[in-house]
Structure 1
Amino acid sequence: MSHAHGVPSAPADRRTRRILAAVLIPAAVATLVAMLVLWPGRVRPGAAPSGERVNATVTASTATTAVVRLADGTETTVDVPAGPGAPVIGPGAAVVLLRSAGVGGGYAIVDRQRAGPMIWLLLATVAAVLAFGRRLGLTALIGLAVSFGVLLLFIVPAVLSGENPLLVAVVGAAAIMFAALYLTHGVNAPTSVAIAGTLASLIVTGVLGYGFSAALHLTGVAGDEDAFLAATRGGIDMRGLLLAGIVIGALGVLDDVTVTQAATVAELAGHGDRSRRDIYRAATRVGRAHVASAVNTLVLAYAGASLPLLLLLATGGAPVGEVLTGPLLAQEILRSAVGTIGLVASVPITTALAVLVIRTRSAGPRSSPPARSPRHSRT
């Protein structure tokens, strides 16, 4: 039974459904089995900061000190943090304090409290999605919750426990893909085609990432965060972690393109009397326009996340060739280039699969238009 939630369901015969089931059901079972095998046990936590974190409110402040009130009503004086990135402190500010371990330990301001504004931001986002998307928006939010669940409960703990990051990312991405797309767009032939196209494109992306990361001699350790993680978590394959990030980052754009292509083919097949070749050509034209904007979105997303890095490199005074081939920027170029190739490949792959799946209307001879009545003919 089809439960379309936004993707038009093109007519598909029983043979087509069997072929899709024969491909996707084993893939879903393999994903579930792989998740069970790779499911992390208890992850050993890293070294916790010495001291206790407590919330407080600033009641008075000067340039160097501040008086803060704790939850139990007691007040104490602390130093105001200074330096780049230090939180701005003033009367009424909600802050986070760190109490030093040991007898007589004092307090220090380490951050601002953000729980309240973040809750309002999330509620506003949910309200906007539900107001516009309605039932489709609700299923999209459920799919988003599943995606975060897979990331936080499976992918991150499995990588920290020492599993191969690329394998974990592929399995986790497949789980997210099955759950999110079927929840959001319903169980029907176009959604199944979109899943198959996304899976094929992810394979292309992963293979290209693996090959070019080796050709570029990238180790996955380029910045301070990478070096710190490699030093504190020696069992993590940093190059695999780089590839895992590429796969997960590409998934968010790929599913958008593949769903659009499958829906476009289904819509074209349901209106008019067209051959498979005509439908493929028309859907590909739509895909070219979509990819043109999606590629720009993908590259800008990576550039936006790496904007501080780009500013640092621009002010370093190094030659352009040296900057572009350095490990920091080379990793970003790899992410953008491999993600773009996978995105471009998703259009012909998904469109071809969707065209093979649909059942076009009979291509018989077109009927002649009715003859004009003599009283309506021109003189």
Structure 2
Amino acid sequence: MGAGHAHAHRRTSRSGTDDVEVGLVARVVLLGTLALCALGTVAGLVHYWPDGGAVERTLGSVEYAAEGVTFPHAEVLAVRGDGLVVARVLEGEAEGDRVRVQVPRDISESGLRGGDVVELQRNPTVEGVEQSFALFGVDRSRTLWLLLGAFVLSVVLVARLRGVLALVGLLVGGYVLTQFMLPALLLGASGLGIAMIGSAAIMFVTLYLAHGPSLRTSAALAGTLGGIAITAVIGVAAIRSARLSGVDDDAGAILASYVDGVSFTGLLTCALIVAGLGVLNDVTITQSSAVWELRAAAPAMSRRALFRSAMRIGRDHIASTIYTIVFAYAGTALSVLLLLYLYQRPAASTLTAQPIATEVVTTLATAIGLVLAVPITTAIAAATVGPARAREGAQA
């Protein structure tokens, strides 16, 4: 009876709803460290958060097109075999007019047909030259909205409340990205600093929202922040060593022509860190949960055995996640890879070209941070949960 009473007393120290003992020292160290990180994150947000209109005041307004050029939507009435499309303008000064525009081969072969909506570029009448129309693009908003609706519905139906909270976290992450990180970068703030502050803010919100406020989540968050720091260090070193400029496509060149005082290597560092957030979050929460579940199932297991068992799970997760990262890039860059294959260039020469080298550095740096975050998170979680406990049969 005495042993049973002492056992029940020890189990009163638990992490939220988790049926796992957590010592006071481990709780204080973990939450104290995260509190310091949170204070630093909040201080960074307050210091670097741009006020309204700061970007426009500093850089001025950038016109997307020449004065008077508009982009009205039009309904496709007929698609001719010679690459011409007959369309009816749906808005603007030319509303109701029927126009003929030339369509690029790739768009005509995509299945464009009557009833589709396209976006035209309307050049106004200038010095006696009548207004002219050209195809600017296809309006794909309907398909995108349908896919978004299907995505949200599937998340809510399958994950229920957790899915809803994850979607809210995603919105918060998008807000931090668009309202803090992008304006701050345009104003010349450090790409590394903004990436660390913004990523930490996103992870604090999304992890606690999606998985609930518990020591299990806190251990995953600590491992995530460690993974972000490792990714940042490796990314900065790799970018410098590879002499990457950060300007390797048309978008970068256009941005460089508009913005002065922005470090494009800093932007590349920021992009590298942000690119790995989602997968990093996935592996750390999995490892923390694995440790918690193992401790609940085997309270007599030593911390060393607990770490080893959780790492066996982590190694399987690492293997599958590495495939995800590499093949995700291969899928998005398939056209570039086909072109390089067509050129029959030596592999070494192909990989060292800046556009490809940038993607390789980004992929490998985030992958290294991801891999190392697994043992870090596992160690933190194993140190946080309570020590091995004698089996009840042995106590009796």
Moved more, 78-87 or 22-31: 78-87
Q: CA deviation at 1:9?
A: 5.8
Identity score, percent: 34
Is the contact made by 1:97 and 1:107 (CA closer than 8 Å) also made in structure 2?
yes
Match for residue 157 of structure 1?
183
Q: Which amino acid aligns with 2:369?
A: G
Q: CA deviation at 1:324?
A: 1.7
Q: CA deviation at 1:262?
A: 0.5
Q: Which amino acid aligns with 1:158?
A: A
- The structure-2 alpha-carbon separation of the partners of 1:78 and 1:36, relative to structure 1 and needing over 3 Å to count, comes to farther
Q: Distance in 2 between matches of 1:173 and 1:109?
A: 39
Match for residue 378 of structure 2?
351
Aligned pairs for 1:164-183 (under 5 A) are: 164-183=190-209
| 1:210 and 2:230 matched | no
| 1:54 and 2:80 matched | no
Is the contact made by 1:59 and 1:69 (CA closer than 8 Å) also made in structure 2?
no
Moved more, 140-149 or 62-71: 62-71
Q: 1:68 aligns with which of 66, 70, 88?
A: 88
Q: Distance in 2 between matches of 1:101 and 1:212?
A: 49
Q: CA deviation at 1:185?
A: 0.5
- Give the TM-score normalised by structure 1: 0.89
Q: CA deviation at 1:365?
A: 8.5
Aligned pairs for 1:320-339 (under 5 A) are: 320-339=347-366
Runs of at least 5 residues in structure 2 that lack an aligned partner in the other structure: 1-13
Q: Distance in 2 between matches of 1:117 and 1:328?
A: 30
Match for residue 394 of structure 2?
367
Is the contact made by 1:34 and 1:171 (CA closer than 8 Å) also made in structure 2?
yes
- The structure-2 alpha-carbon separation of the partners of 1:284 and 1:61, relative to structure 1 and needing over 3 Å to count, comes to closer
Is the contact made by 1:10 and 1:359 (CA closer than 8 Å) also made in structure 2?
yes
- The SS at the match of 1:162 is coil
Q: 1:250 aligns with which of 268, 276, 296?
A: 276
- The SS at the match of 1:107 is strand
Is the contact made by 1:2 and 1:186 (CA closer than 8 Å) also made in structure 2?
no
Aligned pairs for 1:1-379 (under 5 A) are: 8=18, 10-41=20-51, 42=53, 43-44=55-56, 45-50=61-66, 51-62=69-80, 63=82, 64-71=84-91, 74-84=96-106, 89-102=112-125, 105-272=131-298, 273-363=300-390, 367=394
Q: Distance in 2 between matches of 1:101 and 1:24?
A: 58
- The SS at the match of 2:387 is coil
- The structure-2 alpha-carbon separation of the partners of 1:61 and 1:261, relative to structure 1 and needing over 3 Å to count, comes to closer
Q: Which amino acid aligns with 1:243?
A: T
Q: CA deviation at 1:221?
A: 2.0
Runs of at least 5 residues in structure 1 that lack an aligned partner in the other structure: 370-379
- Give the TM-score normalised by structure 2: 0.86
Q: Distance in 2 between matches of 1:55 and 1:85?
A: 16
Q: Distance in 1 between matches of 2:311 and 2:85?
A: 64
Is the contact made by 1:53 and 1:99 (CA closer than 8 Å) also made in structure 2?
yes
Is the contact made by 2:89 and 2:99 (CA closer than 8 Å) also made in structure 1?
no
Is the contact made by 1:155 and 1:168 (CA closer than 8 Å) also made in structure 2?
yes
- The structure-2 alpha-carbon separation of the partners of 1:134 and 1:365, relative to structure 1 and needing over 3 Å to count, comes to closer
Is the contact made by 1:2 and 1:187 (CA closer than 8 Å) also made in structure 2?
no
Q: Which amino acid aligns with 2:121?
A: L
Q: CA deviation at 1:149?
A: 1.5
Q: CA deviation at 1:18?
A: 1.9
Moved more, 358-367 or 31-40: 358-367
